[in-house]
Amino acid sequence: MYDIETPIRAYFGQVLTAKFNDLGVAYDTIEFLLGNAEMLMNATNIFSKYVPNLLKILAWSPMTFVAEFLQLLPACISPTTASEVLHSLFDLPCLSATLQAQYLVEAVPNITDLNLLPQYNRCLASFQDAAHKLMFGHFLRSETGRGDTIDRLGNLHLLLSDFSHHQRVLAAAQIAPQLVRMFFKVVLHGGDVELVSQLVPVLIERTALLFDIPSFMTEMRRVIAQQLLAIFSLFPQLVVDYCRDIIEYLRTLRNLTQAGEHCYVHLVCMLHKLRCIHLLCGVVPNCI
């Protein structure tokens, strides 16, 4: 019997790791996936296993492939990968920055010594430092299943901040909110309350853990608030399960301005309706 896993691993694991930034390879890969999506979903684990490598194509050429990835994203979402995929979408600008650092270091190994791009020196030096290998390695992984996110993500954001004004990173930051919206459109349409329940803590956690690009943070926090509102409207029982987490979320004043007053007020009303009034006492007077 023909072993289909070997060529899949060779291409989507090894070739894409080395050639994700080759436009020819990227176009051919995306066209192949779009043209055979249903068959590949049924017969292979490409979409569930190699999402990190596929996202490298998008992170390197955000505006070129955003429409295609909006079509492919539903195939990448499963109960076992959903949390990891969601974290990856929040981290898309970080992935772009990491790939840019990798590209520069590989192109000119002694780039920091030569001081060719002094504005990136801190990040490039950190990328080459063995102490940070595991952190950067998380974004450079080729397969799922090695952890949804990492500890000290805020520290990595600081290391990558040299690239926060790079055009590729800004483009990734611009499209990431669209992808998160599509992600939740797919998940909520599926109606799997157990899966959705796993994602609520991710949304709340990531409100305070976003790459420091002001426009990206503002828009993504707005998206987070909208998705929380949609989730709790569809599954009101989750409001009780995550009542205290929501209260902490609402206590963060920045969410009132960046998430929008409409979403904020509706979340408060939901808590009130579901008899979480005793928990609201310390929130509403200070925030409204």
* Residue 48 included in any domain: yes
pLDDT at residue number 202: 94
**What is the Cβ-side half-sphere exposure of residue 195, based on CA atoms within 13 angstroms?**
19
Q: What number is the average pLDDT over the span 234-244? A: 87
pLDDT tops 80 at residue 3: no
39-48, 91-100, 138-147, 210-219: least confident range: 138-147
Q: What number is the average pLDDT over the span 116-145? A: 92
Q: Compare 256 and 17 and report the one with higher pLDDT.
A: 17
| Greatest distance between any 2 Cα atoms in the chain | 68
Percent of the chain at pLDDT above 70?
A: 89
* Residue 80 included in any domain: yes
Q: What number is the average pLDDT over the span 190-211? A: 92
Q: Compare 24 and 147 and report the one with higher pLDDT.
A: 24
Q: What residues contact 18, with CB distance under 8 A and at least 6 apart?
A: none
| The two three-digit tokens of residue 8, written as one number | 């899949």
pLDDT bin (cut points 50, 70, 90) of residue 288 is very low
* Residue 86 included in any domain: yes
pLDDT, mean over the chain: 89
What are the b/e assignments for 17-33, b being 16+ CB within 10 Å?
A: bebbbeeebbeebbeeb
Domain containing residue 201: 5-147+154-235
Query: How many domains are contained in the chain?
Result: 1
**What is the Cβ-side half-sphere exposure of residue 157, based on CA atoms within 13 angstroms?**
17
* Residue 252 included in any domain: no
What distance in Å separates the CA atoms of residue 81 and residue 68, rounded to the nearest whole number? 20
* Residue 267 included in any domain: no
* Residue 275 included in any domain: no
Q: What residues contact 288, with CB distance under 8 A and at least 6 apart?
A: 265, 268
pLDDT tops 90 at residue 38: yes
* Residue 265 included in any domain: no
Q: What number is the average pLDDT over the span 148-172? A: 91
pLDDT tops 60 at residue 137: yes
* Residue 245 included in any domain: no
Q: What number is the average pLDDT over the span 177-187? A: 98
